[in-house]
A and B are shown apart, each in its own frame.
Chain A
Amino acid sequence: MSLGLAHFLVLSAVIFSIGVIGVITRRNAIIVLMSIELMLNAANLALVAFSAFRQDPDGQIFVFFVIAVAAAEAAVGLALIMLLFRNRKSINVDDFNLMKW
């Protein structure tokens, strides 16, 4: 049994789902951030898989962009969490629900 496109897509879906569940269930902001990275990488995996399958380098070029955005996002996200912690002594996302009616 050789590895087909479907294997990669299933793996990507599984990783993505893990990321979603992580974002929804965890309260620690850092873990949430990590889960988001997981979802991004699941998308990357799908892109690379399609790229290889279709003999088209566009998908891989796109992945580079995603990695760059993810890096920037992680930097900004960590900075926000740092500032949150300094001000409120907490990084529990349930503590921050001011943006409501």
Chain B
Amino acid sequence: MQGPLWLIPLLPLIGFLINGLFGKRFNRMLVSLIACGTSGLSFAWSLVLFFRLLDLPPSSRIYAERIFDWIVSGNLNVPLEFNLDPLSAIMILVVTGVGTLIHIYSHGYMGHDESYARYFSYLNLFMFSMLLLVLGGNLLVMFIGWEGVGLCSYLLIGFWFTKKSAADAGKKAFIVNRIGDFGFLLGIMLIFVTFGTLNIHQISLQAPELLQVGGGIVTAMTLLLFIGATGKSAQIPLYVWLPDAMEGPTPVSALIHAATMVTAGVYMVARLSALFVLAPISMAVVAIIGAVTAIFAATIALTQFDIKRVLAYSTISQLGYMFLACGVGAFSAGIFHLVTHAFFKALLFMGAGSVMHALSNEQDMRFMGGLRGKIPTTFWTMLIGTLAISGIPGLSGFFSKDEILWQSFSSARGHFFLWLIGVLAAGLTAFYMFRLIFLTFYGSSRVKSDVVKHLHESPSVMTLPLIALAILSIIGGYVGVPHLFGGSNAFGSFLDSALAHPPEPAELHHPAYLEAILMAASVIIALIGIFIAYRIYVAKPLMINPSPDKLGKVHTILFHKYYVDEFYGATVVRPFIKLSELIYNLIDRVLVDGTINIVAYMTLWTGEILKWFQTGNVRNYIVTFMLGVVLFVGYVLLKWI
């Protein structure tokens, strides 16, 4: 039958413990072997479990494993339990597979860092937490994983903590995530109060009976959960931490801030799809937030010059797509895009890391250019990733993105405007991604002269993971070929048993040619985006180093990211600091400290007065003592008489 599930998270945990406790004394090779080995074994075991699951008939593809009772208190009974079904099986494959490739890549990328063992122990701890999140059979285990990945994200963003910007970025990520986590926690509590259990499978079974469609409770529940998702998955309004998270090492950006952790919100929404389908309002909110985030982040990405920040905003935008899919009830399309996005975005980040490696950590695209021939493997793999994310037919991104766009138009909860926003964002995606490629690899070299002589292709330990991910970016989409092309959408039907369906018919009847027309429209818009990028950045390279006043106000606003950070600073951060200062001065210093000081001074003053009774003269004491005895005896005698 299904083997032990606990082995999958346990292996990275062992790696974390060994490297965390003794890694400093090991040499680097051994540290890498332990870290890559544990996650690699975890991946191998996940593959075995996945194929065993695939052998089962669809209706029995669920396997629960209860390790031990963790919390038993009153009617709260929370065991440590793991759950394997098609959804979590796909997620563990992505997490361990992409994770292992990034571990291997890190061996090359972080080779010269002094805190080598610390880096790999954090990375393994992250894998453990993420697998706990994905496999958790109840919401509390999931929440532990959820917080664990947040912690690892904080630790790894601030990995170079001697740099102030890195330490600040880590803090920002953690605090913004806490806001979301608070919503998630409230949602969990509301679920427990309503269902009396935290087991996800139980909740999904009971939800249609206990809750009425569109009821207040289920709407509140799902909106609270979605607040948690916006924090972790960097959606409006809590997306601000992700661009700053690029302060961390690049493989970390690839693993945590592109492929796995940031998709936790999408996974959670899909995991609890049984609740979301009952709340049309929440679904609409999810879809609108997703669509708006997709286009909002894409417009910011147009103007950024930091290669990693472009990718960060691109990640936010693509996550928006996933939420758009979930919001229109196409959860499997969202998860499909999650998987393909994990491939090509991890590839793009690692490619960006390879470029930075070649250019002595230069991140500004204004100081790149003409690198095509110098680092060919990086160029070709990144080009494949870019084509995939742009939705060029034949690559993985095309299938998943068009599935989302089609669903956002055709499903009962879809809308023409959702589709339109999605298509516009797709065009912008193609533009900014090719802008990145053109600025980095085409044109004349703008590389600083002292960097040029060190220019070199990355070692094969870094390029091999790139090639592996490039292959996955090409073929990854063929598991979900839509019916239009004679495929069977195997991916969607595999996930079917693990996801809930909206009560109304999933798809209105649209003629098949409409799907073909919409698909063609999105491809054409993407090609137009590529063409414009080519015109501006290669044919007439005027925009490479633009002067702000030449481009007008729109560019300035976009370049400053709509001033959202400044807005949050003025409306949230600064009032909060002012409030904290007020509380510190008034309550802490005056009230609390004041009370303590008054008690202390009163003791002192009492002592000052009473000390005069201690004269040091024995006869005084005797007089006092005798007086006391006389008074006492006199009192007793008087009462007695």
Contacts and interface: CB of A to CB of B under 8 A. Distances in A.
B611 A24 contact: no
Interface in A51-101: 93-94, 96-101
Contacts, number: 26
A86 B161 CA distance: 73
B598 interface: no
B428 to A, nearest CB: 83
A20 interface: yes
Chain A facing B: main interface SS: loop
Nearest to A100: B616
A19 to B, nearest CB: 11
B616 A24 contact: no
B619 interface: yes
A100 B623 contact: no
Interface residues of A, number: 11
Contacts of A24: 619, 622-623, 626
A23 interface: yes
B500 to A, nearest CB: 80
A100 B613 CA distance: 9
Interface residues of B, number: 10
B611 A93 contact: no
A97 B614 CA distance: 10
Interface string B604-615: 000000010011
Contact of B617 (A20, A23, A97, A101): A97
A94 B623 CA distance: 14
B616 A97 contact: yes
B614 A100 contact: yes
Nearest to A25: B619
A101 B608 CA distance: 10
Contacts of B617: 93-94, 97
Contacts of B619: 23-24, 93-94
A100 B623 CA distance: 17
B618 interface: yes
Contacts of B623: 24
A97 B615 contact: yes
21 contacts: A20-B622, A20-B626, A23-B619, A23-B622, A24-B623, A24-B626, A93-B617, A93-B618, A93-B619, A94-B619, A96-B616, A96-B618, A97-B615, A97-B617, A98-B616, A99-B616, A100-B611, A100-B614, A100-B615, A101-B611, A101-B614
Given A20-B622, A97-B617, 17 more contacts: A20-B626, A23-B619, A23-B622, A24-B622, A24-B623, A24-B626, A93-B617, A94-B617, A94-B619, A96-B616, A96-B618, A97-B616, A98-B616, A100-B611, A100-B615, A100-B616, A101-B614
